[in-house]
Amino acid sequence: MNRPTPRLHASVGALALVLVGIIGAFACSAATQAVDANGQLEDHALQARFERIAQDLRCLVCQNESIADSNVELASDLRRQVREMLVAGKSDDAIFDFMTDRYGEFVRFSPPLEPKTLLIWGAPFIMLLLGGVIIYRVVRQRSRMPLDDEPATGP
């Protein structure tokens, strides 16, 4: 029986690593070819989608800026990730789902209307209704108070 030598296993393993490296290099170059020297996507439709998504994602460091407006390193990494996912053909919903799964609902400026976010969306209306009830009760109580028509007489 002919048994492969350990050298043959090592050379096959090395060849596999070289092939994986070459395929990875082509994949990286394809992703970087889609981005021009200014860091914008060459496809205008993808660039428009990127800008819309970047405006809807909150910078987790700044917390009051979108990742498009922030200059911190985390925002830069998030922009790069969004760009890579767009080039890979991911949908907007898939990108938002990925970011939400990874960073939580806080990463989105406008979270979707779901049962767990219902209180967030309904809170302004609840507060408005509560304010109306308070105003109604105060006005009703004051209307029941007697009018003081006569001036006070002093000693």
Q: Look up the domain containing 75 and give its range.
A: 18-110
CA distance 5 to 9: 7
Q: pTM (2 decimals)? A: 0.55
- Domain membership of residue 7 (yes or no) is no
Extract the tokens encoding 59: 């910078």
- Domain membership of residue 98 (yes or no) is yes
- Rounded mean pLDDT, 135-150: 85
Q: Kindly report, residue by residue over 80-100, the tens digit of the pLDDT.
A: 999 999 989 899 999 999 998
CA distance 97 to 85: 12
Q: Kindly report the CATH number assigned to the domain that includes residue 37.
A: 1.10.8.640
pLDDT band at 19 (very low <50, low <70, confident <90, very high): low
- Domain membership of residue 43 (yes or no) is yes
- Domain membership of residue 26 (yes or no) is yes
Considering the domain architecture, whether residues 69 and 126 belong to the same structural domain is answered as no
Considering the domain architecture, whether residues 95 and 37 belong to the same structural domain is answered as yes
- Domain membership of residue 29 (yes or no) is yes
